Amino acid sequence: MSRSDAAGQSNINTKDGLKKVTVIRNFKSGSLDPHNSWEPLRAGVVETLVRLNEDLELVPWLATNWETSDDQTWVFTIREGVTFQDGTKLDAAAVKASFERGLAASDVLARALKIESMEASGQQLTIVTTEPHPALPSELVNPYAAVISVEAEQKMGTTAFNHAPVGTGPFKVKQFTPNIEIQLERYDGYWDGKAKVNEVLYQFNEDGNVRALALQAKEADIVYQIPAETVEAVQQDSQLRVESVAGLRVHYLLYNQQKPLLQDIRVRKAIDLLLNRESIASDIMLGHATPANGPFNARLPFGSKEAVQQLDPGEAKKLLMEAGYVPGESGKLEKDGQPLTLQLITYKGRPELPLIAQLLQSDAAKIGVDIKIQTVENVDTYLRENKDWDLVTYSNLSAPRGDGGYFLNSALMPGGSLNPINLSSDKLSQLVIRLNATSEIAQRIQLTRDAVDVINQEVPHSYAVYPNLIVGVNNRVINWKPGAEEYYIITNQMDVK
């Protein structure tokens, strides 16, 4: 019995003229409801009006352009010559119907888009938002905002539709087995040129070792998030390669400014100088991370261009002495006879975070700063319910849709869901409020950069590294690279040798 018989399909052989690619993702999906699952977009079944390009900038997709007159009224021009996989034409009315379904199906989407009303006329879609919402184009990148054929849903019924949604993408769903796999086949009428491969098998498996073995067995061509320790073994196989790209997440330290000790900016800066970003990236993350110089990946248009802060214990000690700490008899820094002891919270959800905590602890000890590490089960609950901590190792997506507004609002504005201690800075708030009212992209980028400058001056957080996305790829796959955004996986361009 050969494996192809066993698996019921062959991925590798192209003898029959068919080109097939097998992809394994690290998270499961039990439904393909495009307004409640990201997978239809990732699998190339549906598309959105606006997308991110390789440099993570907003570019037109199903909409060719958009403009706003008063920040509440937006006019999107829908691309001509696009058809859904059931053959119907894409126009503004179809997009409107799709959004209406999305707003009803997903509370999260409704909250993100803030749509008051819509009007469709030919290829022109006018959207009026409930409040000035300059970030609307960026929110439309959200996979939940994918455009689907509501007409097809009415014909098929919602249950069947959520197993095989009809969109405008290069691939259509042939068969879906919830939580196991999606079998995709090429949609020949795709507007941007039909796909180079005929079929794609898009599987799910949550076990990293099994995914890596499937790649090594040549059963899969593209495997997401292979465990860092398997990278070497994969690289030793000349038929395979590992793509490691800086993602949109940032690992960082958050300071508890509700405590007087950390209200002193010199103390925060001193700890910032003790954070060995290079070592975290190379030794802890085994090279699969980039040292951070701000909340946003430096590759992003609004990412900081400043140099990464190097480890500098001498300067850190100087700052602490300026803040009134002097070496005591034991060699530890003290103020009024009290040693400088910091309580650092960490959690195991991301295994590298406790290691970052330990590295900081050891570098701090060298200049006489005592850091006590405490591991907690659920960090969000802990931070909200306890106020006795000084530092925490934290990790969040900082720009999930190629825009800085999300992180600035959630993590650095009072009341934000990622801001458990209600940080607030007048200087920063003014910038964020201006950003929230600005729609012009160049201006938004400038304001976000200005905000990052303020953050780097005031040091409410210390950004450590941007962890990489590690993807194992069989060399037979060409014209394909994982994107940092993890939104567009199956494309019409991907090909096999």
Partner 1 sequence: MKLVRKRLLQLVLVLFLLSLLTFTLMKLAPGDPVLLILEADEMSVTQADEAKLRKELGFDQPLLLQYGQWLQKLLQFDFGHSYIKGKPVWDEMIDRLPTTVQLTAGGLLVMVLIAAPLGLLAAKYPGRWPDQMSRLLALIGASIPSFWLGLLLIYAFAFKLQWVPTNGKGSFSHMILPSVTLGFAMAAVYARLLRAGLLESLSQEYIRAARARGIAEWRILLRHALRAALLPVVTIFGMSIGSLLTGSVVVETLFSWPGLGSMAVEAIFQRDYPIIQGYVLLTGIFVVLVNLLVDLCYGLLDPRIRYGKGDWS
Residues making contact with partner 1 (CB under 8 A): 1-3, 5-8, 24, 28, 30-31, 36, 108, 111-112, 177-181, 203-207, 209-210, 213-214, 216-217, 219-220, 376-378, 380-382, 396-397, 400, 405-406, 409-410, 415-419
Q: Which residue has the tokens 């802990």?
A: 382
Q: What does the alpha-carbon distance between residue 173 and residue 177 come to, in Å, rounded to a whole number?
A: 11
Instruction: Quote the DSSP letter at residue 373.
Output: E
Nearer to partner 1, 115 or 369 (CB): 115
The least distance separating partner 1 from the CB of residue 282, rounded to whole angstroms, comes to 27
The least distance separating partner 1 from the CB of residue 108, rounded to whole angstroms, comes to 5
The least distance separating partner 1 from the CB of residue 204, rounded to whole angstroms, comes to 6
Nearer to partner 1, 298 or 376 (CB): 376
- Here the tokens at position 39 are 């997978």
DSSP bridge partners of 125? 76, 120
Cα Rg of the chain (Å, integer): 25
Nearer to partner 1, 122 or 227 (CB): 227
Alpha helices for 220-312 (secondary structure H):
231-236, 260-263, 265-274, 277-279
The least distance separating partner 1 from the CB of residue 379, rounded to whole angstroms, comes to 9
The least distance separating partner 1 from the CB of residue 216, rounded to whole angstroms, comes to 6
Best CA proximity match to 132, nearest among 478, 497, 448, 433: 433
Q: What does the alpha-carbon distance between residue 458 and residue 299 come to, in Å, rounded to a whole number?
A: 23
The least distance separating partner 1 from the CB of residue 354, rounded to whole angstroms, comes to 16
Q: What does the alpha-carbon distance between residue 5 and residue 131 come to, in Å, rounded to a whole number?
A: 57
Nearer to partner 1, 11 or 309 (CB): 11
Nearer to partner 1, 237 or 453 (CB): 237
Please check whether residue 190 is in contact with residue 170, taking contact to mean a CB–CB distance below 8 angstroms.
yes
Q: What does the alpha-carbon distance between residue 98 and residue 115 come to, in Å, rounded to a whole number?
A: 13
DSSP bridge partners of 333? 327
The least distance separating partner 1 from the CB of residue 267, rounded to whole angstroms, comes to 27
Nearer to partner 1, 306 or 380 (CB): 380
The SS3 call for residue 177 is strand
Nearer to partner 1, 46 or 360 (CB): 46
